[in-house]
Amino acid sequence: MEIGLVGLGKMGGNMRERMRRAGLTVVGYDRDASLSDVGSLAELVAALGTDGGPKVVWVMVPHGEPTRATVTELGELLGEGDVVVDGGNSRWTDDEIHAALLAEKGIGYVDCGVSGGVWGLENGYALMYGGSAEDVAKVQFAFDALRPEGEFGAVHAGRVGAGHFSKMVHNGIEYAVMQSYAEGWELLEKADLVDNVTEVFRSWREGTVIRSWLLDLMVNALDADPGLASIKGYASDSGEGRWTVEAAIDNAVPVPAITAALFARFVSRQDDSPAMKAIAAMRNQFGGHAVQIEPPAGGDANPDA
């Protein structure tokens, strides 16, 4: 079986290797010529089809315009009965647009949410895919090669868009779980009561109801950098958290934990929160509560506080 793979970064490169280890023929293309097997998308498509089956091209590029441009070009290169898989972190609303574009030429479309990160090469990737049963069947050989061993780890979530929507919600949950671990760690460190916070976290890895792979990774991080002293308290977001909150609003579903976790990331990007300045000022006005001020050159802040 053979497949084309567009985008050979940290995820795509490892996915190529995992599929090759499973015996698949993978033709990869990347703008970085040092990673690429061919020189263009046209060469990639031309190299497929030697097994007599439909051509399948899996796209692993950044969401938005890079994915849109790639899908559009593939629509000009592939033929009736072929299939494009978008395995990036596209917004589910883009999937219907891409599917309709390709359908005009008889090309199938499957969207696939992929989870597993840099560990997926060895452990397998959790896959959530959407599309018609006919199109999914054409890609099943790749899903089988990429998924983890065992009963779970892959699901045909529904129609086009269902895969990316499921992955979006998965990532929203991830935001909230990580925020909970982070807040718990900060409280344990701040209380000056627990002798070894890292060992407390480590103990939770067995037998507790909050054990998880994210907890394992948190312990790994604390082992590598006790107190996380070398890391700046800044967390970006890649889009799925925002989309989860927006979808919740559209469907009138309350998601306070996920929303709070997303907003906490926004707060992390402020060296000095303007909102907190306003709150401190109001507390001072109504209750005479002390406010922290910037110290004068060579002096101390709030010398009389």
Within this chain, do residues 16 and 142 fall inside the same structural domain, yes or no? yes
pLDDT of residue 296: 52
* pTM (two decimals): 0.87
Euclidean distance between CA atoms 10 and 236, whole angstroms = 18
Within this chain, do residues 105 and 21 fall inside the same structural domain, yes or no? yes
Instruction: Determine the residue type at 180.
Output: S
Euclidean distance between CA atoms 241 and 271, whole angstroms = 22
Within this chain, do residues 236 and 119 fall inside the same structural domain, yes or no? no
In whole angstroms, what separates CA 210 from the centre of its chain? 21
Residues 6 or more apart whose CB falls under 8 angstroms from that of 238 comprise 89, 171
Within this chain, do residues 18 and 150 fall inside the same structural domain, yes or no? yes
In whole angstroms, what separates CA 162 from the centre of its chain? 16
Within this chain, do residues 155 and 172 fall inside the same structural domain, yes or no? no
pLDDT digits (tens, 9 = 90+) for 108-149: 999 999 998 888 999 999 999 999 999 999 999 999 999 999
pLDDT of residue 294: 57
Give every strand in the sheet of 2-6, ordered side by side: 25-29, 2-6, 56-59, 83-86, 108-115, 126-130, 154-158
E strands, the chain, where? 2-6, 25-29, 56-59, 83-86, 108-115, 126-130, 154-158
Task: Give the structural domain span for 95.
Answer: 2-159
In a domain, 295, yes or no: no
Within this chain, do residues 189 and 47 fall inside the same structural domain, yes or no? no
Euclidean distance between CA atoms 109 and 112, whole angstroms = 10
Instruction: Determine the residue type at 255.
Output: V
User: What kind and span of H or E run contains 135?
Assistant: helix 133-146
Parallel/antiparallel/unpaired status of strands 83-86 and 154-158: unpaired
Q: Above 80 in pLDDT, residue 71?
A: yes
Within this chain, do residues 130 and 187 fall inside the same structural domain, yes or no? no
Q: Locate tokens 């909050």: which residue?
A: 210
pLDDT digits (tens, 9 = 90+) for 223-251: 999 988 888 888 888 789 999 999 999 99
Mean pLDDT value of segment 96-119: 96
Burial classification of residue 257, based on how many CB atoms lie within 10 Å of its CB (0-12 exposed, 13-18 middle, 19 or more buried): middle
**What CATH number should be reported for the domain holding residue 6?**
3.40.50.720
Within this chain, do residues 120 and 201 fall inside the same structural domain, yes or no? no
Nearest to 211 by CA among 226, 199, 201, 222: 201
Please indicate whether residue 174 is annotated as part of the active site: yes
- Which residue of the set 10, 174, 189, 199 is catalytic? 174
Within this chain, do residues 8 and 146 fall inside the same structural domain, yes or no? yes
Euclidean distance between CA atoms 164 and 89, whole angstroms = 7
Euclidean distance between CA atoms 149 and 145, whole angstroms = 9
What Cα–Cα distance (Å) separates residue 15 from each residue in 32, 62, 121, 231? 17, 16, 6, 29
Domain boundary among 120, 135, 159: 159
**Count of domains forming the chain:** 2
- Which residue of the set 2, 55, 138, 167 is catalytic? 167
**What CATH number should be reported for the domain holding residue 215?**
1.10.1040.10
Euclidean distance between CA atoms 235 and 245, whole angstroms = 18
Within this chain, do residues 235 and 153 fall inside the same structural domain, yes or no? no
Q: Above 80 in pLDDT, residue 291?
A: no
The DSSP 8-state label assigned to residue 31 in this structure reads S
Average pLDDT in the chain: 91
Instruction: Determine the residue type at 3.
Output: I
